[in-house]
Amino acid sequence: MKKWIYLAVVMIALLLSACGPSYPGEISEIKANSSADDVDSYLAKLSLYSDKELESLFEGLSAKLEKADDGLFDGQNAELYATVLELNHRGLSPKTGNFTEILDIFYLYACNPWRPAIYTASPLRTFGSLQSDAANDVYIDRQDHIYIVGMTEGNMISRTFGGRDAFICTFDARGKALWAKQFGTADADEANGVTVADNGTIYVVGRMGQKAEPQPEPDPDPDPVPLATQASSTSNAFIRAYSASGRELWTDQFGNQPGSWGIDVATNSNVVFMVGRRSSQNFVRSYSPGGWLNGEDLFAGIGVEDVAVTSENYAYVVGWNQKRNSPQGFVETRSYIRTYKSNAGLLKDFDFGLANPKTGEAVKATGVALDSADRPYVVGYTNGTFGARLFGRTDAFVLRYSDSAGIVWKQQFGSTEDDQAVAVDLSPNNKIYVAGRTTGNLAGQNLAYFDVFLHSFSTSGSTLSATQIGTVGYDYTQSVAVNSANESVVVGSLLNNGSNAFAGRLP
């Protein structure tokens, strides 16, 4: 989610990469010490191998190792690294050698920022491929299992399908990697949102450049796929369902227009809502758990951001729109929250207005989440006075909304610099967690550029805690999720030495 600043920031960060430090034991250091060219060279050769030849090669290479991770991720064994990538790409699991042990190590480094265990007292940790990666969303289910989705431009979990692939990584409550998928087409693909139903079904949304390649693993008991995947010469939004064990259940691709992509997804186990953008329109789609389309709403705009689903099958959608104000001459940026029925029929469209109608200070809503009573809380940022005085150039805000009363309360907070709230989640005891990014000293000393911040609030709007953490690069926060013990996981992109996906635990 929230990609509209990302590309510009990446270009700035790349200028800093030559002087950026390494982070011991992390993917950023592995990238510095490994040769991606060697891996790519081996992959080009291995793509011509038969399955039997590939498994035989793995058996010979792995037999030479004294331990499972010997040289696998420090550039000393690029051929074995490439062989594991190609085996994953084809869905092969050799019975000989120590493939299971090596695969555990592979996931530990490639897909797990908390090596060797989650929830250690550590700063933001990077993970991913030897190329650019980004973590776009995180979700924690009722078992405290963790799901992270994003994009990779490298060979993260398997051989790459194209210039940019989507990925999903899953972990148990202690941080052990359970399974992971890298998927896509020959074009630009990415996963932007993830949610999980009570029965363990996982829903992922994002964009694909053309018709997706089929999953390599056979399905011994296939479910019917109610919606056909449509090929496209431009880009498609997609929604995909996985079983708890990682088996693809169904996929719907649609759009076939430039700029079509899924932004976020939410479910209450009875209905699945996804939101996204299609050319100059926003869309809201409702699905049954099995993939049947219940309905769709299209409306003008460019800034749909997030969705949350109530226990009664209603959905709240937040975002923002822009239009030029003719009398004053400025561009208005106004935010909304829209209420939907289970079939994606619009019930209400509430406009949050401008921070200052006379001068056009913007209000951008970026996230929404519900408490145990289905009351929605919205976060975002403004460059005006939207709840208190303006503290800096842009301030973060959090508010509670009601269909009957509108804005019940709102809190504006910030440093003397730029502060942007981009994600929100609630703990089981209704503690509100607001995550974002700051260039100032919001809750600590800023290290450089964007830092991550995490503030918590009561359901009445009182501030409970404030945390700020960062590195010497751009720490570009994207999402937050909270487990049953009130522990939060924040994910995003660390833009230093290229782009690295990061995850971190904040109190």
At 277-334, the pLDDT tens digits run: 988 899 999 999 999 999 999 999 888 999 999 999 999 999 998 876 656 666 778 8
Angle of the 51-63 helix axis to the 99-110 helix axis, nearest 10: 90
pLDDT digits (tens, 9 = 90+) for 85-96: 888 888 888 876
Lowest-pLDDT range, 45-59, 71-85, 195-209?
A: 71-85
CA separation for the pair 270, 312 (Å, rounded)? 9
88 shares its domain with 152: no
Kindly state whether residues 148 and 233 are assigned to the same domain. Answer: yes
375-401: b (≥16 Cβ within 10 Å) or e: bbbbbbbbbbebbeebbbebbbbbbbb
Res 259: pLDDT: 77
E strand map for 414-450:
419-426, 432-438
Q: Does any domain span residue 505?
A: no
Q: How many domains does the chain have?
A: 2
Residue 162 and residue 198 in one domain: yes
Contact (Cβ atoms closer than 8 angstroms) between residue 301 and residue 321: yes
Residue 232 lies in a domain: yes
Q: Is residue 354 part of a domain?
A: no
323 close to 332: Cβ distance less than 8 angstroms: yes
- Band of the pLDDT at 169, cuts 50, 70, 90? very high
pLDDT at residue 476 greater than cutoff 50: yes
Among all chains, which residue has been given the structure tokens 């005006």?
A: 384
Alpha-carbon distance of 453 to 490, in angstroms, equals 9
pLDDT value, residue 43: 84
Domain contains 243: yes
Q: Which residues contact 300 (CB under 8 A, 6 or more apart)?
A: 280, 281, 282, 321
Helix 78-90 and helix 36-46, axial crossing angle in degrees, nearest 10: 50
When pLDDT is cut at 50, 70 and 90, the band that residue 473 belongs to is confident
Residue 418 has pLDDT above 60, yes or no: yes
- Work out the pLDDT band at 6, boundaries 50, 70, 90: very low
pLDDT at 442 over 70: yes
- Number of Cβ atoms within 10 Å of the Cβ of 462: 11
pLDDT of residue 69: 56
C-alpha 391/C-alpha 418 separation (Å) is: 9
CA–CA separation, 124 and 490 (whole Å): 9
Q: Are residues 178 and 252 in the same domain?
A: yes
pLDDT at residue 26 tops 60:
no
**Co-location of 137 and 240 in the same domain:** yes
353 versus 75: the higher-pLDDT residue is 353
70, 146: one domain: no
Question: 296 to each of 170, 236, 293, 300, 383, how far by Cα in Å?
Answer: 30, 16, 8, 14, 33
Q: What is the largest CA-CA distance in the chain?
A: 75
DSSP 185: -
Residues 138 and 252 in one domain: yes
88 phi, psi to nearest 5 deg: -65, -40
For residues 71 and 105, membership in a common domain is answered with yes
Could you say which of 112, 143, 161 is where a domain stops? 112
State the CB neighbour count (10 A cutoff) for residue 431: 18
Q: Are strands 474-482 and 190-196 parallel, antiparallel or unpaired?
A: unpaired
The verdict on 101 and 154 lying in the same domain is no
Q: What pLDDT score was predicted for residue 5?
A: 38
Q: Supply the pLDDT for residue 70.
A: 55
In a domain, 464, yes or no: no
In a domain, 455, yes or no: no
239 domain-assigned: yes
Concatenating the DSSP letter of every residue in 14-64 gives HHHGGGPPP-TTSHHHHHHHS-HHHHHHHHHHHTTS-HHHHHHHHHHHHHT
Please give the pLDDT value at position 139: 98
Phi then psi for 144, rounded to 5 degrees?
A: 65, 20
Q: What is the pLDDT of residue 119?
A: 38
For range 442-469, the mean pLDDT: 93
| Percent of the chain at pLDDT exceeding 90 | 50
Looking at residue 207, its pLDDT comes to: 94
Separation in Å, CA 243 to CA 69, 108, 203, 269: 30, 22, 9, 13
Could you tell me where the beta strands, DSSP code E, fall in 361-459? Answer: 363-370, 376-382, 395-402, 406-413, 419-426, 432-438, 451-457
Take residue 129 and report the two structure tokens written for it: 């491929």
Mean per-residue pLDDT over the chain, rounded: 82
Q: Which range is least confidently modeled, 100-114, 116-130, 134-148, 423-437?
A: 116-130
Q: With a cut of 80, say whether residue 338 has pLDDT above it.
A: yes
Q: Does one domain contain both 137 and 235?
A: yes
Q: Do 242 and 211 lie in a common domain?
A: yes
- Residue 117: pLDDT band (50, 70, 90) is very low
Higher pLDDT, 13 or 261: 261
pLDDT of 387 higher than 90? no
Averaged pLDDT, 431-438: 97
Using pLDDT thresholds of 50, 70 and 90, give the confidence band for residue 35: low
Domain housing 211: 133-215+225-257
Angle, helix 78-90 to helix 99-110, in steps of 10 degrees: 100
Q: Is residue 402 part of a domain?
A: no
**Rounded Cα distance, 150 and 110, in Å:** 13
Check whether residue 234 and residue 146 sit in a common domain.
Answer: yes
pLDDT of the residue at 37 = 62
